[in-house]
Amino acid sequence: MTATPVTAQAEAPTEAERVLTFWLEEVEPKQWYIADDDLDATIRSRFGGLWDKAAEGALGHWLTEPNGALAYIIVTDQFARNLWRDDPRAFQLDDSARSVAKLAIDNGWDREIVPPGRSSSTCHCIPRTSSIRTAPCGCSTSGCQRPKAACCHARAHREVIRDFGRFPFRNKALGRETSEAEAEWLEQSGYGAVVERLKSDAK
């Protein structure tokens, strides 16, 4: 009797791999920067539990290699915005995202990420400019090796902090009073206009 050959089954993707596949292959890059209720709902349904794990410190095992670190940054820096739009929890894990971004850069992992991951707004550089505490120095834009679009966001963050000392578009989520100058800026131009101007200047 001939033995039936055993066919090896493909290993199931890890949670980190599922994050990368979703964000870098299923989602279009233009969706990274806009508010989209449907995308928010999808992320909440598929990945909300991962944000909870990150908040509990239960994703440390991701931080041993480049793709795991990138997935962690996506969860804590980007998914957080989708999950907790207009809620202070959107920024709760910013310090963690920046720490992992620094870890990745120190280890040279950012240079190992290939497109489209390398052009992601969360690929190691932008999270370092995500907070008022780091945006003034943030990523060194003169030596930034990220793609132009990503560096434009780094420069935009730095410019907004220079002008207002904080991010006015977070006022609602953080329960802050909006100044007259901030209200005028939000109504007439806002962050998107700053990014578009810097992109145009970079051409």
pLDDT, residue 196, reads: 81
pLDDT, residue 193, reads: 81
How do the pLDDT tens digits run along the chain, 203 residues long? 444 444 444 456 799 999 999 999 999 887 887 889 999 999 999 999 999 999 999 999 999 999 999 999 999 999 999 999 989 999 999 889 989 988 888 888 877 776 555 555 444 445 555 555 544 334 444 444 444 555 677 788 788 888 888 888 888 878 889 999 999 988 887 887 887 888 777 66
pLDDT, residue 192, reads: 79
Can you tell me the distance from the alpha carbon of 136 to that of 155, in angstroms, rounded to the nearest whole number? 10
Q: Which residues contact 11 (CB under 8 A, 6 or more apart)?
A: none
Determine the longest span between alpha carbons in the chain, in angstroms. Answer: 85
pLDDT, residue 148, reads: 52
Triad 145, 162, 196: Cα angle to 5°: 55
Please name the helix (run of DSSP H) or strand (run of DSSP E) that holds residue 73, with its range, or none. helix 66-73
The number of beta carbons lying within 10 Å of the beta carbon of residue 77 is 26
The token duo for 82 is 């989708």
pLDDT, residue 60, reads: 95
Q: Are 161 and 135 in contact (CB under 8 A)?
A: yes
For the whole model, what pTM was predicted? 0.71
